[in-house]
């Protein structure tokens, strides 16, 4: 009998996964699988989910938000576990699951996983830490870190937006230096993104990004003239910022360095990232994935 390890975060997405555990077991059981489940809690480290992982396991199922996915992928990479992963969209923010084309219905998502073949996709890395969807710094980018867990569970995605608005009066422009073989830039910026996926906060910012091209999509919102900066935000909502990029820098690269003298946080998939300077790179074919529909 085939085996899969389910690692789930019961606190993600208003406890959404808790209501659908039986659905996961039912769909997998029909396909001849045995599932061993590990519940993430404050009392147990996620590392414990991998203590008894051996060659008998077919894949890892992750049920949680982008931050949960990030933590699990980092543990797998740092412990040399090379199993395929399947990601269920059960968190407050599910940007990466959406990028993979996962259905929101849990039964449909499980069936899509089980009928798919393993696909190799790219993985991002900043210094010694991996990310699956996006690395960022600047305005709004550490909102998910600062948003109260109870607020997330009560308000869902709206909690991120409210927390982000609170940050605006305290923010100042960043003086950054970006270097890659494609571009060198020194100037002021409000936000810098390095995308492996396409979206952040459910907004398709890097809508030209591809998960298997060996490249990251870099999007820098400049802060030279405030009127241009405000216009660039409207372009983001209309998906025009990459077509008419005044006030926005966009390019693709497999590696870049990013320096900033400000004391500001970095963010990897909603988790706290490393301190500056940053060495950001794309690991081509760095992750085995199931359920990819695009």
Asked whether 55 and 80 are in contact (CB, 8 A), the reply is no
* Cα-only R_g, the chain: 19
Query: pLDDT (tens digit, 9 = 90+) per residue, 193-237?
Result: 999 999 887 788 899 999 999 999 999 988 866 556 666 666 666
What is d(CA 85, CA 176) in angstroms, rounded to the nearest whole number? 35
Percentage of the chain with pLDDT > 90? Answer: 63
Superfamily of domain 2-115: Probable inorganic polyphosphate/atp-NAD kinase; domain 1 (3.40.50.10330)
Architecture, CATH, for domain 129-283: Sandwich (2.60)
Average pLDDT over residues 75-85: 96
- Lowest-confidence segment of 65-69, 179-183, 215-219, 280-284 by average pLDDT: 65-69
Please name every residue paired with 138 in a beta bridge, in sequence order, or none if there are none.
191
Query: Mean pLDDT for the chain?
Result: 86
Structure tokens at 3: 């085996």
Q: What is the reported pLDDT for 141?
A: 61
For the stretch 5-61, pLDDT in tens is 999 999 887 788 999 999 999 999 999 999 999 999 988 889 999 998 988 999 999
Long-range contacts of 26-31 (CB under 8 A, 24+ apart): 26/107, 27/107, 27/110, 27/111, 27/114, 28/4, 28/110, 28/114, 31/2, 31/114
For the entire predicted model, the pTM comes to: 0.88
Q: Indicate where the chain has its CATH 3.40.50.10330 domain(s).
A: 2-115
Q: Tell me where in the chain the CATH 2.60.200.40 domain(s) lie.
A: 129-283
């Amino acid at each position: 009998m085939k085996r899969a390890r389910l690692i789930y975060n019961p606190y993600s997405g208003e406890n959404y996964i808790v209501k659908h555990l039986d659905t996961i077991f039912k769909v997998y059981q029909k396909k001849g699988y045995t599932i061993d489940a590990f519940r993430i809690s404050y009392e147990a480290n996620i590392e414990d989910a991998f203590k008894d992982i051996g060659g008998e396991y077919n894949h890892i199922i992750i049920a949680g938000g982008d931050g949960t996915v990030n933590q699990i992928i980092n543990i797998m990479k740092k412990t040399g576990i090379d199993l395929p992963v399947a990601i269920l969209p059960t968190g407050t923010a599910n940007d990466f699951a959406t990028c993979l084309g996962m259905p929101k219905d849990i039964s449909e998502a499980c069936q899509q996983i089980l009928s798919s073949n393993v696909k190799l996709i790219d993985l991002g890395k900043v210094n010694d830490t991996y990310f699956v969807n996006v690395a960022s710094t600047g305005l709004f980018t550490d909102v998910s870190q600062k948003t109260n867990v109870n607020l997330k569970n009560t308000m869902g995605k709206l909690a991120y937006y409210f927390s982000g608005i609170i940050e605006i009066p305290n923010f100042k422009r960043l003086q950054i230096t970006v270097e890659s073989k494609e571009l060198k830039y020194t100037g002021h910026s409000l936000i810098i993104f390095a995308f492996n996926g396409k979206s952040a906060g459910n907004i398709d910012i890097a809508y030209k990004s591809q998960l298997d091209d060996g490249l990251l999509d870099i999007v820098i919102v400049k802060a030279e003239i405030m009127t241009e900066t405000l216009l660039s935000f409207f372009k983001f909502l209309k998906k025009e910022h990459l077509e008419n990029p005044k006030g926005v820098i966009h390019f693709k690269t497999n590696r870049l360095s990013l320096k900033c003298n400000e004391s500001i946080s970095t963010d990897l998939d909603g988790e706290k990232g490393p301190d500056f300077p940053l060495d950001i790179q794309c690991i081509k074919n760095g992750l085995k994935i199931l359920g990819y529909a695009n």
